[in-house]
Structure formats: structure tokens, C-alpha cells
Amino acid sequence: MNIISQTTAFGGMQGVFTHESNACKCDMTFAVFVPPKAIKEPCPVVWYLSGLTCTHANVMEKGEYRRMAAELGLIVVCPDTSPRGNDVPDELTNWQMGKGAGFYLDATEMPWSENYQMYSYITEELPAYVSQHFRMDMSRQGIFGHSMGGHGAMTIALRNPERFKSCSAFAPIVEPSTADWSAPAFEKYLGPDRAAWRKYDACALVSDGTRFPEFLIDQGKADGFLENGLRPWLFEDVVKETDIKLTLRLHERYDHSYYFISTFMDDHLKWHAERLV
């Protein structure tokens, strides 16, 4: 593990690291905040997945999670959103595809399938790697994220309910297979057969019988992507006939930015801490 930076914050450690990824076939960067409690004992882990165009740095620099994570004794891991490097395929003029837009899936179509294995990276490789280097209690894991990362968190939780005890999201793309800003990427990554898309779509997973106990979703009503990209009411509708509990909070005047995320970050960390006891 290569150390890019380590900084003390709220008595804990905020670090940025790189490692060679077998899944993505490139060097991957991730951030980890370790609370002071981890000096004495293993701590629960919360994974934060960022959105389109982001890296690990967006939430690390603007999410304002460290004070509450230190208080609650939570380790927060912030992976990158896609593979990186000169040899990694990309669409330079399309911010919804390629680098920064991995959509937390395992691509099956060339040229993307060589590197874009983000589902496997997030669910298998990175957890196995970081648990060797930090004092983590891997029996207590939660996951959350923003936008594309909210989509990733929800689908990963739904598909891995035995691993994750909590899940929340800020402005998630709840049905990416039909959303304007994700369906074209899904076709390029996964091919034209939409049946293959369903395991990466929260609404489709619930419709197909997949379950997770409960979700917290915060959504700004002034979000410019609300109507065509996010549409949380679709997830609200699909869980109505299930035993899944949904807390959906709509906020006047809030948009899609980290001003919105940082406002409600404490609520989400407390949500996870209550379920990771």
C-alpha cells in the first residue's frame, strides 16, 4: 500500500492511499478516516460511494464527515468511482461514461470489460485489502453514497444483505436502467440485453424479490437532476408492497451539491452507527 497522505483530524487519521488492483488492472486510489477509538479496538466500517465525475477526494474535502465519525467511532472508506490511467478506456467528451463514471458495475462489453470491474472491486477486492491494514470490525459494515454512488450503495446492499447492516443514500439514481443519464452508459458497459442490467438497478432488484431491511434517502427538491435522473418516488412505489422500510426525506431549496450532502451527513452517520452496534 502506497501512502499518498496522512493527516490528523479530530483525534483520528485521514489518509489517502493507492494500491494495485487486480479487478480493475490499474492502480486505484482510496481514502480512509480512522477514528481515535480504533487505537484501542476494531471499529465498524462505513463505505461512501461518490457520484459522477467524482473521485475519493470530493467527499473527503467537502463532505464534513470526520467530526461525527470520530465521535461515533466509525471508520469511513471512500473509494474512487472508476479505474484510472492512460491505458484505461474513456470517453473524453462524455461525463456520463468512462473515467469518473464506473456506475459500480462489472462491465461485460469491450473495451470496458478489461478495467471497469467496479462491483467486484468494491464488494470483494478493496474490503479484503483494507481489512488487512486497518483495525476494522468487518462484521459491522454499512454503505452509503451520493447520486451514482447512492445507486451503487443501494444495489450493493440489496445484493449483499448478509454483509451490510445499514444503507443510506443522498439523491440516488434509483432506476438507472431507465434514467436519461445512466441508460446509455449501461448499454455500453453491459450490452443491449436489458435483462443483464437488472442486477445493477435498485428498483428492478426489489421487483425481482431482492430484499434489504431498510433505507434512508435524502433528496433535495431543488435538485436539477430530480425529474429525469433520480426519481426517488419510483423506489418508494416499488417497496410499498414489501417489508422493506424506507425513510424518504424531501428537502425544500436543497440541490445536488455537497452543500446538501454536508448538511445531512451527521444524520446519515448516526443512522449507520445505530445499526452497527
Range of the domain at 92: 2-276
CATH of the domain at 117: 3.40.50.1820
Q: For residue range 236-259, list pLDDT tens digits in order.
A: 999 998 999 999 999 999 999 999
Q: Is the pLDDT of residue 28 over 90?
A: yes
- Rounded CA-CA distance 45/167 in Å is 12
Q: What per-residue confidence (pLDDT) applies to 96? A: 95
Q: Active site residue: 146, 256, 268, 272, which one? A: 256
To the query of whether residue 223 is one of the catalytic residues in this protein, the response is yes
To the query of whether residue 5 is one of the catalytic residues in this protein, the response is no
Q: What per-residue confidence (pLDDT) applies to 59? A: 98
Number of structural domains (the chain) is: 1
Q: Is the pLDDT of residue 53 over 90?
A: yes
Q: Is the pLDDT of residue 181 over 90?
A: no
Of 195, 204, 199, the C-alpha closest to 174 is 204
Q: What per-residue confidence (pLDDT) applies to 103? A: 98
The backbone torsions φ and ψ at residue 138, rounded to the nearest 5 degrees and listed phi first, read -75, -5
Q: For residue range 92-134, list pLDDT tens digits in order.
A: 999 999 999 999 999 999 999 999 999 999 999 999 999 999 9
The whole-model pTM stands at 0.97
Average pLDDT, the chain: 97
**Residue 163 cell numbers, joined:** 454483509
Q: Are 13 and 39 in contact (CB under 8 A)?
A: no
Q: Compute the average pLDDT of residues 206-225.
A: 98
Q: Active site residue: 21, 182, 223, 272, which one? A: 223
Of all helices (H) and strands (E), which one includes residue 271? helix 258-275
Q: What per-residue confidence (pLDDT) applies to 30? A: 98
Q: Is the pLDDT of residue 199 over 90?
A: yes
If pLDDT is split at 50, 70 and 90, which confidence band does 56 have?
very high
Q: Compute the average pLDDT of residues 196-224.
A: 98
To the query of whether residue 139 is one of the catalytic residues in this protein, the response is no
Q: Is the pLDDT of residue 1 over 90?
A: no
Q: For residue range 66-86, list pLDDT tens digits in order.
A: 999 999 999 999 999 999 999
Q: Active site residue: 147, 166, 177, 182, which one? A: 147
Q: Are 35 and 46 in contact (CB under 8 A)?
A: no
Q: Is the pLDDT of residue 37 over 90?
A: yes
- Rounded CA-CA distance 175/148 in Å is 11
Q: What per-residue confidence (pLDDT) applies to 24? A: 98
